[in-house]
A and B are shown apart, each in its own frame.
Chain A
Amino acid sequence: DAKTTQPPSMDCAEGRAANLPCNHSTISGNEYVYWYRQIHSQGPQYIIHGLKNNETNEMASLIITEDRKSSTLILPHATLRDTAVYYCIVRVYPISGGYQKVTFGTGTKLQVIP
């Protein structure tokens, strides 16, 4: 499995952009980068994913470096409801085939400050 490393915590002022970095230096060519977030006592919520191109949806933007060894999740205008733990993961293929299992690192605890 490609491992990811994220800063344990970050603060962001409400209304400002939150930029959450993730390193995945051992990522394989066919592995995607996914971002999820987990608000306290809830299941993880899907945010966005990408392979090598930058991606944008209604929630966030994902910037992946050209060498794919790192990425940044951007929340353009953070609100208090964006306070959560953000997980950057890469998908791996089990040897026996089938859908890849997903393992989580420790994530980044984002605190949006009023």
Chain B
Amino acid sequence: GAVVSQHPSWVICKSGTSVKIECRSLDFQATTMFWYRQFPKQSLMLMATSNEGSKATYEQGVEKDKFLINHASLTLSTLTVTSAHPEDSSFYICSAHGQGSPGNTIYFGEGSWLTVV
């Protein structure tokens, strides 16, 4: 069964609006979560690393004010795409790691398709 769950699986939003994607770890406490984006036929690109209770660390070139990450609890991290534009349309994936994660490894969510129209 799923170890990390993402919601929604897909979302369509209008340009200029904000959209929130949730990432939940099931059955273990995720002290660290990672957010990726993936464009068609490309590999996953790491956007940011978030540790529970602290500010996220963003990769170079990723706008922290546009991609707001909140990791307020050990089982939930959220990514909010603010003032979305069509170029933000992508596949967003989260992953989680923490004590108690099966095999002490990193697990990924099912991904969320964002389409901005």
Cβ contact within 8 Å between B93 and A43: yes
User: Which A residues, 8 to 66, have Cβ-Cβ distances below 8 Å to chain B?
Assistant: 34, 36, 38, 41-46, 49
Cβ contact within 8 Å between B46 and A102: yes
Partner of A98 from the list B45, B51, B111 (CB cut-off 8 Å) is B51
Known contacts A41-B111, A42-B111, A43-B111; A106/B43 CB under 8 A: yes
Number of B positions contacting A (CB below 8 A): 27
Cβ contact within 8 Å between A107 and B43: yes
Q: How far is the CB of A43 from chain B (nearest CB, A)?
A: 4
Contacts of B6 in A (CB 8 A): 43
Cβ contact within 8 Å between A105 and B108: no
Cβ contact within 8 Å between A34 and B43: no
> B96 — nearest CB in chain A belongs to which residue?
A99
- The stretch from B13-21, B72-80, B99-107 touching chain A is B99-107
> B94 — nearest CB in chain A belongs to which residue?
A43
Task: List the interface of chain B (C-beta within 8 A of A).
Answer: 4, 6, 31-32, 34, 36, 43-46, 49, 51, 57, 91, 93, 95, 97-98, 103, 105-111, 113
Dominant secondary structure of chain A at its interface with chain B:
loop
A104 contacts the other chain (Cβ, under 8 Å)?
Answer: yes
Cβ contact within 8 Å between B51 and A104: no
Contacts of A36 in B (CB 8 A): 108
Q: How far is the CB of A18 from chain B (nearest CB, A)?
A: 20
- Extra contacts, 20 of them, besides A42-B110, A46-B106, A104-B46 (Cβ < 8 A), are A34-B106, A38-B44, A41-B91, A41-B111, A43-B6, A44-B44, A45-B108, A46-B105, A46-B107, A49-B105, A94-B49, A94-B57, A99-B31, A101-B46, A101-B49, A102-B34, A102-B46, A102-B106, A104-B36, A104-B43
